[in-house]
Structure formats: structure tokens, C-alpha cells
Chains A and B, each alone.
Chain A
Amino acid sequence: MISFLAAVLIVLGLFFFAGGSVGILRFPDFYSRLHPAGKLDTMGLLLSLTGIALYVVQDLTLSAILTALKIMLIVVFVFITSPTATHAILDAGVRAGLSPWTAPGKRGRT
């Protein structure tokens, strides 16, 4: 039962990863590509690693619990570093003077 739940979570996570990759290929410019790259990955990682942690923790031994804790620590660190890295890349783009793509016929309100 738990391994079934873990499998569902991992597949859902992979679906988010796939969406992220498709998004990177399809979005029009540097800035908008960062959206799927930086965030759909975080969600995919959260779901798939939760699934893996659930799978590992099935047999409730001490070492299994420690391994699950380590896996969840990875999620915590990615949640702290991922927005920072995304922001750093975007900031580099702004500093280099790249202007964002805007939809034709629309003027950005600033």
C-alpha cells in the first residue's frame, strides 16, 4: 500500500519534471524560461523525493528512518537554494541589459 502511494508520488513528480523541460523548450525568452526551470523542478523534486522517502521508511528500522531524514534534508536545502539561484540568474540577465519579451500588442505596466 505504501509502495503504491510512493510510486504515485514519484510518477507525479516526474510529470512535473517533464512539464518543466517542455516549458523550458517552449517559452519565448530567457526570463520566462526561468519560470518552469526554477520552479516546476522544485515541485517535481518535492513530490518524487517524498515518494522515495516513503518507500525507504516502509520497514521502520533506525537506518531507514535516518535515510528518509537525509532525503527530506535534500528537499529542504533545494527549497532554500533554488529561489536564490533562480534570482541570481535573472539578476545577471537584468544587469547585462537584456530586456524581457512582452506579448505583441501589449504594453507592460511599469
Chain B
Amino acid sequence: MNVENISPEHIPPVRRVRTSTLSARTRKGISFIIAFCICLATWIVLSGRFDALHLTLGVLASGVVALGAGTILISWRGLGRLPRQWLGFIGYIPWLLYQIFLANLHVLYLAFHPRMIELISPEIIHFKSRLKRPMSLFIFANSITLTPGTITVFVSITGEFAVHAIDEPSAASLPGKMEEKVARLMGE
């Protein structure tokens, strides 16, 4: 990636952090509590024991993790739009699963086709995405890789994608509807 290629409009806008009335201490506390609850829930699901010893160990372990990494796991900047994002995610995942299923059938058909070698024409396609935020690019890139027929080769922070596609129908589907969905999900 050439640094000179980055023109100003490619650089994601810096979001101003809303100056909160809460003190840094309170924010840290809220981050701690959320991280602690998530850690403890994971502990309980994974351990499956409810006696005093295991629960105490779980509380201790979650406490240590939340103290050390609470502010890293739950960043205050993202907290405000987190609920909307999660709601969007719940809508996005079934659609993604359906797309994965359709595309899987396609690759399965290719794998068993007797004249498979004539049907496929692998190529690396390049396109520029209009997504700006790193998180959107990350979700979009992983969604591309999850849908069969396409694997992300390279993503730049400015939204340039290189994608390896197995055949022409897979290549033609990009960036298309998936990009729109991710954009709406992340509120871009």
C-alpha cells in the first residue's frame, strides 16, 4: 500500500468523543461490571458446576480478567452505539447463514461435478469498498471469506479489496448486497 495514494476522503473521519459528565472512574467501573458479567456467564456455561468452590473460583478469575482487561474489552467510545449494533447483528446473522448455505451448495455442486475443471475459472478481482470504519471492513472481509467461492486476499484500511473467486458467478456477486447490509448494520 502506497502512502501517497491515500487522499483525504479515504481517511475515516475521527469521531469526537462525546464529553461525558461521568468521571473516568465511573466509566472504568461500568466497563469493569460489563466485562465481569460476560466473563462470569462464560465461566458458568463452560464449568457447569454450581457448588461454592467452583463459583468462587469463577468470581475470582472473572474479577482478575475484568480488572486487567475491562477497559480493553469494553471500550467506552463504542458503548453508546453497542445496543443498536447488536440488534443489527441479530438481523444480519440469519441472512449471512442463508447466504453461506446457498453458496455452500454451489461449491458442493462444483466439487462433485464430473467436468468441474471446465466450470471453474479462478481469478483475483479487485474492487474498492465504500465502507470506511475498520470494524465494518473487518466484518465485510470475514463475511466474504465465509461465503464459499470467495476468499479475501487483501484489505487495506482505505477499503481496497482483493478477493480470490472460484468462478464467474461468485465473482459477479461482489461487492453487491453484502456491502449494503454491512453498511446499514454499522450505520454508515
Q: Chain A residues in contact with chain B, CB under 8 A?
A: 16, 19-20, 22-23, 26-29, 31-32, 34-36, 38-40, 42-43, 46, 63, 66-67, 69-70, 73, 79-80, 82-84, 86-87, 90-91, 94, 100-103, 106, 108-110
Contact = CB atoms under 8 A, between A and B. Distances in A.
14 contacts: A19-B108, A22-B112, A27-B116, A27-B120, A28-B122, A36-B148, A38-B145, A39-B100, A67-B48, A90-B153, A100-B122, A100-B164, A101-B122, A102-B123
Interface string B94-116: 00010011011001101110001
Contacts of B149: 35
B104 A16 contact: yes
B121 interface: yes
Interface of B: 45-46, 48, 97, 100-101, 103-104, 107-108, 110-112, 116-118, 120-126, 141-142, 145-149, 151-154, 164, 166
A26 B145 CA distance: 21
Contacts of B46: 70, 73
Contacts of B122: 28-29, 31-32, 100-103
B123 A109 contact: yes
Contacts of B112: 19, 22
Contacts of A27: 111, 116, 120
Contacts, number: 117
Which of A31, A67, A70 neighbours the largest number of chain B CB atoms within 10 Å of its CB? A31
Contacts of B145: 38, 83-84, 86-87
Q: Is the interface of A mostly helix, strand, loop or mixed?
A: helix
Nearest to B50: A62
Contacts of B45: 66, 69-70, 73
B172 to A, nearest CB: 11
A109 B111 contact: no
Contacts of B125: 109-110
Nearest to B126: A110
Nearest to A85: B145
A35 B147 CA distance: 9
B98 to A, nearest CB: 12
B124 A110 contact: yes
A103 B124 contact: no
A63 B49 CA distance: 9
A83 B101 CA distance: 15
A22 to B, nearest CB: 5
Given A42-B146, A83-B145, A110-B125, 20 more contacts: A19-B111, A20-B111, A23-B107, A23-B108, A29-B122, A32-B120, A35-B107, A36-B111, A39-B146, A39-B147, A69-B45, A73-B46, A83-B152, A87-B141, A94-B153, A102-B122, A108-B123, A108-B124, A109-B123, A110-B126
